[in-house]
Amino acid sequence: MFRGVYTALVTPFDENGDVDEATLRNLVDFQIENGISGLVPTGTTGESPTLSHEEHTKVVGIVIDQANGRVPVIAGTGSNSTKEAIYMTKMAADAGADATLQVTPYYNKPTQHSLIQHFNTVANEGGLPVIVYNIQGRSGVNIETSTLLSMAENDNIVGVKEASGNFNQMLDVVRSTPKSFSILSGDDNLAVPLTIMGGHGVVSVLSNILPREMSEMINAALAGNVAEAQRMHFRYMDLIKAMFIETNPVPVKAAMAMREMITEKYRLPLTPMTKDHQEQLQRVMNAYQLI
């Protein structure tokens, strides 16, 4: 079972806009040394839509190599093409990934029946355990709880990253899925409430900056220490909000650049934040004494 905090890793680029391998390896070490449960490269936060297949495979391979078995690596290999998702998943499996994060197919808006076929096909042919990624805001389609329950009957579909934003639905998932099925929040702001109510942790954006603090917070929730988890949640709430003042991963990469962890580089159509948002983020970072 996947439990704890799994960092949705950014993909650092150098001044030329290429994948910065040395920095990526440093980020992996920073995460592991600060107690993270696992790593999730090449997801939304890793700017996967603008990575070529070659770069995608390269990033996954670097993370797996640098992690060197110290923590699980869940590779983002989803696509709105089932054939492509299987191909990318097989590449990640060959590189040594522990599981795959499979986003709901986006833009083509499959029906619930079609979603079941898509995820089962990837699970049966991709060669890795599948964590379903439910994010209606980006895919345009919500995975209904009944649909997820049907998927959970497949032994190779082992969990869900729940980013629907619908807490009632998330609780239905907790109540209805098998005990062995991992339920990870896809939103930092809902991670503590979901974990307290029976979830198993979070795939986190903020943990790119604060892996130890996020781990301590979720571990408290997992241990049933509600007061401590609540205290930490409120402690970091403003910082969590700041990570989403513009489209993810722009704010978190800007924050990491402020801390000199990465070069602040994005790929179009993502661009640096507006001046007002940059100043707002800087004020928050200062308030937390992070810069």
Whether 133 is catalytic = yes
Provide the sign of the torsion angle of the four alpha carbons 107, 134, 82, 248, taken in this order: positive
Say which of 133, 253, 265, 266 is annotated catalytic: 133
Answer whether 76's CB lies under 8 Å from 42's CB.
yes
Say which of 58, 161, 253, 265 is annotated catalytic: 161
Answer whether 252's CB lies under 8 Å from 10's CB.
yes
CA–CA distance, 288 with 291 (Å, rounded to integer): 8
Answer whether 31's CB lies under 8 Å from 66's CB.
no
Residue 120: CA count within 13 A, CB half-sphere: 14
CB count in 10 Å sphere of residue 149: 15
Whether 253 is catalytic = no
Residues annotated as catalytic (active site), given as ranges: 133, 161
